[in-house]
A and B are shown apart, each in its own frame.
Chain A
Amino acid sequence: MSVGFAVRAGAFVLAVGAIALLPRFISDFRALQLGTVAIFFIALLGLNILTGHAGQISLGHGAFMGIGGYTTAVLTSDFGGLSWEMNDLATVPIAGLVAGVVGFLFGFPALRLAGVYLALATFALAVALPSLARSQKLAGITGGSEGIILPRLPPTGDWLYYVCWSFALPMFVLAWLIVRGRLGRAFRAVRESEIAAVSSGISLPLYKTVAFGISAFYAGVAGALLAIPTTAIFPDTYPVALSIILLTGVVVGGLGSLAGMAIGALFIQFIQTDGPQWLQAVLDRVGVDINETAPGVPSVLYGLLLLAVLLTARSGVAGLLARGVSVLTNRIYHRPIKRQATPSRREA
């Protein structure tokens, strides 16, 4: 066990403890918000595997969340001819798998695209999903614009908090195992140089579609969990903007950093809802009034902060923190591997 591993494992155990105890100290409303943070955290973990590690951009992950959400809605409700009426939590993994399969299949056309073109192709998914859900032809499954009512009554904040974090933490560990192993390394090789990856035996079609599949699985689970507190889902429960917000969350948290996704999720959840008040509280001290309740202020603040992150920390908040920490831990992490005592063959 390396020192780096012990530090990470220790930090993880502390984080789990803090997450378990936190609801004792906060209001039920805050717990509800932090439960939603766990949902975004899951979605960002998946998107980061795809974009941060495999280097494939997606502006369509809101659509995979939508597929997960609709799967859960269809399986739990007594709507239409298909009344499975399953337990909603039991449908979450199924929702993940359905979204994962769609994501995997979407990976095939995506193979021919890169960069801006891939961004647009995935964006098309995000644009198409609400319209598809609304369409008359699919209304028998999706409920059209009236949506689907879920059987569960609005849950308490604590309930949602614990449920969502119970999904999020194992999925974080899973993502970590994927990223640090052979699969994650192959993903990064694809990101860094496709030509060298192929020449090293990595099949681009296989690894790109698998990356899309894994990341859509995460989005599907997140979308299913998001359906539960909303108690009913409509085409606009998963709007186009959601896909863009997810990508900004990954960038703010730090491309490639899994723990950074918690920061990205907090950013997504709180900047628009609470950010303006926080900013006003600071500005009050210098006597500036930004009229924080005016419409548009949250979006402008979101935009400005995103810009600030892009300009000051290209590797996200996680990258910024890591740079600070590395000054302290450089000697531990980057100690050279001891040269072998026996002379190398070169000198022999």
Chain B
Amino acid sequence: MALLELDSVTRRFGGVVALDSVSLAIGEGEIAGLIGPNGAGKTTAFNVVTRLYAPDGGRLSFAGRDLLRVKPHRIVGLGIARTFQNVELFRRMTVLDNVLVGAHSRTGFGGEKEARAEALETLSYLDLAHLARRPATGLPFGTLKRVELARALVSRPRLLLLDEPAGGLNHEEVEELKGLIRRIRQDFSVTVFLVEHHMALVMSVSDRVHVLNFGRKIAEGTPAEVRENPAVVEAYLGA
């Protein structure tokens, strides 16, 4: 059974159909890529899965549960954590506090000590421990993305949604990121679903790639299959 399943999900913004009856399934343990030209509906898909947007139609399920019955703030507790395209950090809070907020769903009142230990552990996993007491504001963009990743990981998700993890990173950092994504899947036994414009990255880390164009799903398959798919080539190069 798939871990995450979208069944004919539609979402409109006024007259624009951002998602047009999109269906896709992601298996447990997979690294899945979601690609498509600008405005194809990729981030909208993430926002629907994390319940920030309500879909206008269709069904969503995670590990057999109907996500449409789950409130947005309960999503992370179910095991879905995410990062954001333009980084949504708590800027005037320290790096450590940012990550501690990520542990909010798992720790009750009184779990503070444990939460701190796990937050610090997650920070050192991502080589950020030395920045723990620094406020997030003022750190370089690539570092902020890692802090956001730490905040997502500390919730111990089953599914990790990464919205353009390579955006704004230089060539070297992208190379590092490739290895990091694979290692995270291994070390945290997590399923990864990523939206990405950086083709080389998506094609090298993904087990399966889903392609959106103008809100419609136009292709799905292994990276090699998708690369050869005429509809995909047309979407990217234009007719």
Contacts and interface: CB of A to CB of B under 8 A. Distances in A.
28 contacts: A182-B115, A185-B97, A185-B104, A188-B93, A188-B97, A189-B104, A192-B91, A192-B92, A193-B88, A193-B89, A193-B90, A198-B52, A198-B72, A199-B50, A199-B52, A200-B104, A200-B151, A201-B76, A202-B104, A203-B73, A336-B130, A339-B124, A340-B129, A344-B124, A344-B125, A345-B125, A345-B183, A346-B125
Contacts of A340: 124, 129
A333 B94 CA distance: 13
A201 B115 CA distance: 14
B104 A336 contact: no
Contact of A201 (B89, B105, B133): B105
A7 interface: no
Which has the most chain A C-beta neighbours within 10 Å: B100, B104, B112? B104
A121 interface: no
Contact of B93 (A182, A189, A336, A344): A189
Contacts of A281: none
A344 B155 contact: no
A200 B154 CA distance: 10
Contact of B129 (A193, A203, A337): A337
B73 A198 contact: yes
Interface of B: 50, 52, 71-77, 81-82, 84, 88-93, 97, 100-102, 104-105, 107, 109, 112, 115, 120, 124-127, 129-130, 132-134, 151, 155, 180, 183, 187
B52 A337 contact: no
Interface in A197-218: 197-204
Chain A to chain B: the 9 pairs with minimum beta-carbon distance, closest first:
A201-B105, A192-B90, A196-B88, A203-B73, A201-B76, A189-B101, A201-B104, A193-B88, A336-B130
Interface of A: 181-183, 185-186, 188-189, 192-193, 195-204, 333-334, 336-337, 339-340, 344-346
B129 A197 contact: no
Contacts of A199: 50, 52, 72, 75-76, 81-82, 88
A334 B90 contact: no
Contacts of A339: 124, 129-130
A201 B125 contact: no
B50 A346 contact: no
Nearest to A181: B112
A85 to B, nearest CB: 39
Contacts of B129: 337, 339-340
A192 B93 contact: yes
B101 A337 contact: no
Nearest to A196: B88
A337 B120 contact: yes
A40 to B, nearest CB: 26
Contacts of A183: 109
Contact of A182 (B50, B72, B109): B109
Contact of B127 (A197, A200, A334, A346): A346
Contacts of B105: 200-201
Contact of A186 (B84, B101, B112): B101
